[in-house]
Structure 1
Amino acid sequence: MDWSNLWSFIWIFFWSFAFIAYLFALFAIIGDLFRDHELNGWWKAVWILFLIFLPFLTALVYLIARGNGMAQRSAKAASDAQAATDAYIRQTAGGSASPSDEIAKAKALLDAGTISAQEYEAIKAKALGA
């Protein structure tokens, strides 16, 4: 086995990993810049220009200088997305209806003959928590 080929492969693999990790950091920084509503637009432009012309140094400085705020904005975005998902699930599942709404719907179904009186009483008891 030729060791020079093995070390070349390892070297290429290492630099490929470093480049992909840098791209992840770069996109995270750009996403954070546009997520930050407190930062002036001119400062955002300055950060972007520095990311273009001095990419590694600027990414390192950004992560050191604004890392805490970046983590807070990311956590807030995640919690907002989770809250929106929970609200959508509750709305779709119909779990947000009040007991009186559920009883009224059950009464309409009873009047239409869709459910029996026993089913209506069961729905009413469930809605009232009994």
Structure 2
Amino acid sequence: MTNYPLLNLFWTMLEFFIWILWFFLLFKILADIFRSHDMSGWAKAGWIVLVIILPFIGVLAYVIIRGRSMGLRDQEQAQKADAAFKQYIRDAAAPPTEGVTASTGTRHVEELSKLADLKANGALTEDEFQKAKDKLLG
């Protein structure tokens, strides 16, 4: 049996956790470099080389220099995803188009089922659910 004190175990766990956080930050920064539209291809290449060749200095420099814009790009992407999700809800709750034949009843059932799932998942409030249901059935 080996002698490995409890404090060493905690220290090892802390180092492992910090290592995982480091990789998360590194991948987040690499994704942000590729997602950034305000940098030229050469600037992106320079940041990638800096982050890969001198990882600690490169990552810290990127966070210091471009950290604020990185947060803004994350916020913009979240707003676009939210808008797309809300548009999907509007499209799913829209009344059927003209010329829909016998499948109209089936379509209503499917769309009501989608609305109920969205409500159950917490994506829709009770009021939004009722409005969408009334719009669909009305």
State the TM-score, normalized to the length of structure 2: 0.65
2:69 is equivalent to residue 69 of structure 1:
yes
Residue 89 of structure 1 aligns with which residue? 89
1:25 maps to: 25
Higher helix fraction (1 or 2): 1
Q: How does 1:94-109 map to 2 (within 5 A)?
A: 94=94, 97=95
Equivalences for 1:46-65 in 2 at 5 Å?
A: 46-65=46-65
1: CA distance, partners of 2:15 / 2:50: 22
Q: How many Å apart are 1:10 and its aligned residue?
A: 1.3
**Aligned-pair distance for 1:5?**
2.2
Superposed counterparts of 1:31-42, under 5 Å: 31-42=31-42
Counterparts of 2:57 and 2:11, CA distance in 1: 22
Q: CA RMSD in A?
A: 2.5
Inter-partner Cα distance in structure 2 for 1:77 and 1:3: 50
SS of the counterpart of 1:67?
Answer: helix
Query: Identical aligned pairs, as a percentage?
Result: 36
Match of 2:121 in 1: none
**Separation of aligned partners in 2, 1:52 and 1:5:** 36
Q: Which runs of 4+ in 1 moved over 3 A?
A: none
Give the match for residue 78 of structure 2: 78
Q: Tell me, which stretches of 5 or more residues in structure 2 are unaligned? A: 103-133
Letter of the 1:75 partner, please give it.
Q
Once the two structures are TM-superposed, the CA of residue 11 in structure 1 deviates from its matched residue by 1.5
Aligned residues: 102
Q: Which structure: larger Rg? A: 1
Residues in 1 aligned to 2:72 and 2:21: alpha-carbon distance in whole angstroms: 21
Which runs of 5 or more residues in structure 1 are unaligned?
Answer: 110-125
Q: What TM-score do you get using the length of structure 1 for normalisation? A: 0.69
